[in-house]
Structure 1
Amino acid sequence: MDWDKLRIFHAVADAGSLTHAGDTLHLSQSAVSRQIRALEESLNTTLFHRHARGLILTEQGELLFDATRAMSRRLDAASARIRDSEEEVFGELKVTTTTGFGTLWLAPRLPTLYEKYPDLNIDLMLEERVLDLPMREADVAIRMKEPSQADLIRKRLMSVRMRLYATDAYLDAAPEIDHLEQIGAHRLICQSPSAFQVAAGATLVQHLLTYDTPKLLHVNNYFGVLQAVQSDLGIGVLPDYVAEFTPRLRRVLPEIESGEVPVFLAYPEELRQSKRVMAFRDFVQEEITAHRRRMRGMSRRMLKL
């Protein structure tokens, strides 16, 4: 099969238009169209349905696009490994993690990484879906459970616990809460038990909902929970790391917390020698060490109080 024709097919399938693909490839629309027709003739099949709004892949076209997409990711990985300098860190690094962790823990720390490596470009993909690292949907993942995919290098970074937090302003105006049985007098802000979240967090929320909690606010990620708590709306179920850089928060019912949530960093075996990946890995480990040091300091200060 002609590699050049496959490259052109991939561009057309990705763009959904001969004109847009031609712009990307620096080819005329007629040249792109000829290559697609030649590829269809060589395969004895139709790859696109043509209509006024553009092109739609046929079933056979979808199969071929899946194959060229996988090839493209593998070529990107090989290209990245070839480009990695022995001494310099540069280029794009695709990092995936959850919305909560990426927004509340990782993103605020990125200035430190950019200060050290100004030519490194992070593509931060925040979503609950587990992206396929071997298929190069991302280069590095930070996940709230140990990855199950094969051919991954994985390292346990830290543990997180879900705890209860509210603002001083809310607690000063709200009814007293010294025991869990009093939670019903307060608005509980949390993710819905049916929402995608770590098992330990869901278990804690289910336990809290066994008490009389008529006032609820459900948000589909921890960033939204934090914003609602900071708006003095109630008591939120949040990961413990939010307390480090959110001085307005006060922990509520310190004896109530979830089980441990392990946090893992993972990347494909083929990127073991990537300078970009190693730089990001080292950065995260250094930030976690500093995080632990600050949290110990906060705990000692709380004990003195």
Structure 2
Amino acid sequence: MDWDKLRIFHAVADAGSLTHAGDALHLSQSAVSRQIRALEEALGTTLFHRHARGLILTEQGELLFEATSAMAKKLDSASARIRDSEEEVFGELRVTTTTGFGTLWLAPRLTKLYEKYPDLKIDLMLEERVLDLPMREADVAIRMKEPAQADLIRKRLLNIRMRLYATPEYLEKSGRPEKIEDLQNHRLICQTPRTPQVQAGAQLARQVLAFDQSSTLTVNNYFGVLQAVLNHIGIGILPDYLTADFPGIEQVLPEVESVEIPIFLAYPEELRSSRRVTAFRDFIQEEILSYRRHQAGDSA
């Protein structure tokens, strides 16, 4: 059904006159009349009774006017929300990141974002697979390497390292290793090197596992590794961004660490002006800045 003909029909039905509708639409009366006749022919029905005092809707015309009125209200509402979106943030935002970062760092901080933008709907997709942003599998990605896909806006947020951590309770009970060889006397907790993960983490796990510990615990995500460490099961390989939120763990063998791992935020070029994406980007940058201040305070 021709949207332009429906728009003209709605104006005529609302005004009750071809002339008044034409004035509102900046069309001649004859042009309006032709469009109405064409619509009636397309529908195979009469929409108006022609009357000396104007036009009166037929039963079929009333049904169509109900539909166009509902459409007009929805369009007006959408237009208002589009105008409001210059100042407000609402709607769905699909965010993808790794299971570890999303579970341990991002999700606990989303309270602040929702407090500021209560109408935001976030779909948080946690997986190691790199989703295709240009194909709109997600709106925003936070990844542990620079995205290689084209037509993306990308920003380096920070660098992290994988390090060894344990609780003071575990270390007091089992002893503190003084050199890397001492790890063979401890239970090591890490991601299974074969599972999808940051390559630097897998390399560090292989390095430490080479000392042939008598007891190990391997988990397929860092959330499980952290829970095991917090429950004093052993020494775990974890990303160093956790230390800000879990002061109950301490670093073991500071000289043993992975290479630097960059964390990037990326989104499609076409979403540059999206209020949702801008709000999320600014939120992440503020949280990263707070994290860096915390780290600087700890090292001072």
Partners of 1:122 and 1:248 in 2: CA distance:
30
Partner of 2:104: 104
Structure 1 match to 2:258: 258
Residues 115-134 of structure 1 aligned to structure 2 (within 5 Å): 115-134=115-134
Corresponding position of 2:36 = none
Q: CA deviation at 1:180?
A: 0.8
CA distance in 1, matches of 2:286, 2:195: 32
SS at match of 2:256: strand
State the 1:210 CA deviation.
Answer: 2.0
Aligned to 1:135: 135
Counterpart of 1:204 in structure 2 is: 204
Question: Is 1:233 aligned to residue 233 of structure 2?
Answer: yes
Q: C-alpha separation between the residues in 2 aligned to 1:87 and 1:295?
A: 34
The normalised TM-score by structure 1 is 0.70
The CA deviation string for residues 254-279 of structure 1, in whole angstroms up to 9 with x for no partner, is 11111000000011111010000000
Aligned residue number for residue 245 of structure 1: 245
User: Contact (CA 8 Å) 1:84, 1:275: kept in 2 or not?
Assistant: no
Q: CA deviation at 1:248?
A: 1.1
Deviations, residues 151-178 of structure 1 (Å, cap 9, x unaligned): 1111111111000000111111003311
Residue 30 of structure 1 corresponds to none
In the alignment, the residues of structure 1 paired with residue 191 and residue 245 of structure 2 have an alpha-carbon distance, to the nearest angstrom, of 21
Could you tell me which residue of structure 2 aligns to residue 280 of structure 1? 280
CA distance in 1, matches of 2:98, 2:198: 10
Query: 1:155·1:265 contact (CA, 8 Å) conserved in 2?
Result: yes
Conserved 8 A contact 1:175-1:185:
no
Q: Which residue of 1 aligns with 2:90?
A: 90
Between the aligned partners of 2:210 and 2:236, the Cα distance in structure 1 is 16
In the other structure, the counterpart of 1:192 is: 192
For residue 83 of structure 1, report the CA deviation from its aligned partner: 8.1
Distance 1:89 1:228 in 2: 39
* Aligned mates of 2:194, 2:83 — CA distance in 1: 44
Shift in alpha-carbon separation, 1:178–1:293, aligned structure 2, 3 A: same
The CA RMSD measured in Å over matched residues stands at 1.6
Query: What secondary structure is seen at the aligned counterpart in 1 of 2:135?
Result: coil
Residue 146 of structure 1 is matched in structure 2 by 146
Q: SS of the residue aligned with 1:128?
A: coil
Greater Rg over alpha carbons, structure: 2
Whole-Å Cα distance in 2 between the matches of residues 121 and 104 of structure 1? 20
Whether the 8 Å CA contact 1:93–1:123 is kept in 2: the answer is yes
CA distance 1:226–1:87, shift in 2 (3 Å): same
The Cα offsets for residues 109-155 of structure 1, whole Å up to 9 and x where unpaired, read as 11111111111111111111111111111100000001111111111
C-alpha distance in structure 2 between counterparts of 1:98 and 1:188, whole Å: 22
For 1:176 and 1:283, locate their aligned partners in 2 and report how far apart those are by CA, in whole Å: 39
SS of the equivalent of 2:212 reads coil
Count of residue pairs the alignment pairs up: 221
Asked whether the 8 Å contact 1:84–1:276 carries over to 2, the reply is no
TM-score, normalising length from structure 2?
0.71
CA contact (8 A) 1:142 1:264 kept: yes
CA change 1:255–1:273 in 2 (3 A) is same
Shift in Å at residue 212 of structure 1? 2.9
| Cα displacement (A) at 1:82 | 6.0
Contact 1:222 / 1:238 at 8 angstroms: preserved in 2? yes
- The whole-number CA distance in structure 2 between the counterparts of 1:83 and 1:137 is 27
- Give 2:233's aligned amino acid: L
Distance between the aligned counterparts of 2:114 and 2:92, measured in 1? 12
User: Structure 2, unaligned stretches of length 5 or more?
Assistant: 1-78
